[in-house]
Every structure is written in C-alpha cells, then in structure tokens.
Amino acid sequence: MSTLPGMQTSRFLLFRRLIIFFLAGLLIYYHIYTLCGLYLGTGTSAHTTFEYVQSVLRVMITLSLLLVVFGKSWALYGMWVGITGLVATHYWAHFGKLPVDFTLGRHPLSYLKGFIFPSIITMAFHTSSQNGDSNADA
C-alpha cells in the first residue's frame, strides 16, 4: 500500500520524466525537421561545409536525445557536445560573416538560448535519477 509521501514522490518523478520527454521530443522534431528541409527541400543540391558540420551535429543531438528519453544518463554528454558544437557553429557563422540568413540583426549572445532546453533536461534527468528512478542509469 502506497503512502501519501510515496505517491507524491512518484507524481513528481512522473512530472520530471514528462518534462524530459516533452522537451527532448520538441528538440528531436526540430532537428529532424531542419535536416529534412535541408536535404529534401527545394534548395540547391550543393551544400557547404557549414551545412555538413551542422547536419552531423543535429544527427548527434537527435540520437543522444533519443537515448536520454530511454533513460541513458551517459547520453547527456553526447547531447551537450552536440548542442555546444551547434552553438559554436552559430558563432562561426556570425563572426565568420558566412552568407546565412539567421545571423542578420541578431545579437551574439542570442545564440546562448540554445542551452536552455538542454539545461532543463539535464536538471530534470539528474533529479529524477537521484530519487530512485531505476531506469535512469540502465
């Protein structure tokens, strides 16, 4: 028989897992949508080195987020490496004066917004694994 504190803990654990699932799902959808638009869209077939580097990072982010959703704590490292690399490529485009549209009129600090969702996912993952989530490190 469950006690009231035990039920509250399991609800809070479920809430954190839902946060991870929702935010990771949004990021996975966004990166897959971006990759499909790049390679299946009506653009040119010649891609730049910048686009290839970003594509590899987006695939890395997507795969690591899928593993995070399935409870693999070590996949958080891959997520962070991919996100940091993607933010670095945004700075490469911004300060390297690459011919991309997303840099127009943007402040250089605006690219740091890319760390918000991964930070929330990491905090939710670590707090859920500390409170007895047996799948967190499996």
Per-residue pLDDT averaged across 74-78, rounded?
A: 96
The pTM of this model reads: 0.82
Lowest mean pLDDT among 4-8, 17-21, 49-53: 4-8
Q: In the prediction, which pLDDT does 68 show?
A: 96
Q: How confident is the model at residue 135 (pLDDT cuts 50, 70, 90)?
A: very low
Q: How far is CA 102 from the centre of its chain?
A: 19
**Interatomic CA distance for residues 72 and 62, integer angstroms:** 14
Which pair of structure tokens corresponds to residue 114?
A: 């890319």
Per-residue pLDDT averaged across 124-134, rounded?
A: 66
Compute and round to an integer the Cα radius of gyration of the chain. 18
